[in-house]
Amino acid sequence: MRKTKIPIDDIKYILLDMDGTLLDKYFDDYFWEHLLPEKYAEKKQMTFGRAKEELLTRYKAHEGTLNWTDIDFWSREMDIDIPALKEQMRHLIEVHPHVEDFLAAMRRRKKKIFLLTNAHYKVLDLKFRKTDLGKYFDAAVTSFEIGYPKERIEFWEETQKLLGFEKESSLFIDDTKAVLKTARAFGIRYILYKAVANSKAGKGSSKEFMMLEDFAELLDDKKNE
């Protein structure tokens, strides 16, 4: 497999997104684009198509804000217990291939590993319970804790104060280009776009950022073990 050219030896801090980057985004896409519109259609006694169209419009209106991934906000908006519904579907939560191999290798090499996510803290808790990924991180930071989504430069300013990472020796991986652009503007030196976010959807592409399809690309048996 082609190796992504990142100088791991020069990197002290590994900054990682969760949904789509470490975890298969199929769970989230299915939940927000199929299951929730289905439940909303039943509640409002409308067709699935109309319900999905209405919800996608409402999602779009809050994209890039704290409301975007605030499941308590959406529970109130739709009068549906979204945390309970997500709990029922937890069996669909899956870790992307070779993620744990990569995290374990980085731990052995004494890298500082931080999770930076826009996900609600209740969703973070659910996914950590399902996957057991939490043991690999030195800290996990949510946009709700910081007060800004990752798309805002203020998120990065406040998160750096909290975690103390150095821009010049940090690697950041995310599947959202808007977030990557903000991280780059902030000065994060090494940036990778996770091109395969949803295993059941097509691969993304980018001319702007170096792409990562599989975490195996970052593993070098001789150096990372």
Please identify, among 38, 61, 91, the residue that sits at the C-terminal boundary of a domain: 91
Give the C-alpha separation, 9 to 188, whole Å: 16
Regarding whether 197 and 87 lie in a shared domain, the answer is: no
pLDDT level of residue 4 (50, 70, 90 thresholds): low
Query: How far lies 55's CA from each of 38, 64, 98, 120, 129, in Å?
Result: 11, 16, 34, 19, 28
**Residue 184 structural domain:** 8-24+94-224
147 within domain boundaries: yes
In the predicted structure, residue 40 carries a pLDDT above the cut 90:
yes
Regarding whether 45 and 14 lie in a shared domain, the answer is: no
Regarding whether 217 and 106 lie in a shared domain, the answer is: yes
Regarding whether 98 and 72 lie in a shared domain, the answer is: no
Regarding whether 81 and 100 lie in a shared domain, the answer is: no
pLDDT for position 5: 79
182 within domain boundaries: yes
Regarding whether 86 and 55 lie in a shared domain, the answer is: yes
Nearest alpha carbon to residue 144 among 170, 171, 116: 116
Query: How far lies 141's CA from each of 39, 68, 108, 200, in Å?
Result: 31, 17, 22, 28
Catalytic residue among 9, 10, 19, 101: 10
Q: Tell me the mean pLDDT in the region 44-57.
A: 96
Answering whether pTM is above 0.85, one says yes
Quote the distance between the C-alpha of residue 149 and its chain's center. 12
User: What's the domain count of the chain?
Assistant: 2
Are the beta carbons of 40 and 80 closer than 8 angstroms? yes
In the predicted structure, residue 113 carries a pLDDT above the cut 80:
yes
146 within domain boundaries: yes
Q: Is residue 81 annotated as a catalytic residue, yes or no?
A: no
Share of the chain above pLDDT 70, in %: 96
2 within domain boundaries: no
Regarding whether 169 and 197 lie in a shared domain, the answer is: yes
Q: Which spans in 64-211 are helix H?
A: 71-78, 82-88, 99-108, 121-131, 143-146, 153-163, 177-186
pLDDT level of residue 1 (50, 70, 90 thresholds): very low
123 within domain boundaries: yes
Q: Tell me the mean pLDDT in the region 135-160.
A: 96
Convert the pLDDT of each residue in 23-36 to its tens digit.
Answer: 999 999 999 999 99
Regarding whether 182 and 127 lie in a shared domain, the answer is: yes
Regarding whether 202 and 127 lie in a shared domain, the answer is: yes
168 within domain boundaries: yes
Regarding whether 196 and 98 lie in a shared domain, the answer is: yes
In the predicted structure, residue 221 carries a pLDDT above the cut 70:
no
Q: Tell me the mean pLDDT in the region 144-161.
A: 96
3 within domain boundaries: no
Between these two residues, 202 and 3, which has the higher pLDDT value? 202
Regarding whether 67 and 49 lie in a shared domain, the answer is: yes
Residue 48: in which H helix or E strand, if any?
helix 48-62
pLDDT for position 223: 44
Q: Tell me the mean pLDDT in the region 76-104.
A: 96
pLDDT for position 9: 92
1 within domain boundaries: no
pLDDT for position 37: 96
In the predicted structure, residue 124 carries a pLDDT above the cut 50:
yes
In the predicted structure, residue 102 carries a pLDDT above the cut 80:
yes
Convert the pLDDT of each residue in 197-218 to its tens digit.
Answer: 999 998 998 889 999 999 999 9
In the predicted structure, residue 19 carries a pLDDT above the cut 90:
yes
Regarding whether 189 and 80 lie in a shared domain, the answer is: no
Please identify, among 63, 91, 119, the residue that sits at the C-terminal boundary of a domain: 91
Are the beta carbons of 54 and 38 closer than 8 angstroms? no
Please identify, among 76, 91, 106, the residue that sits at the C-terminal boundary of a domain: 91
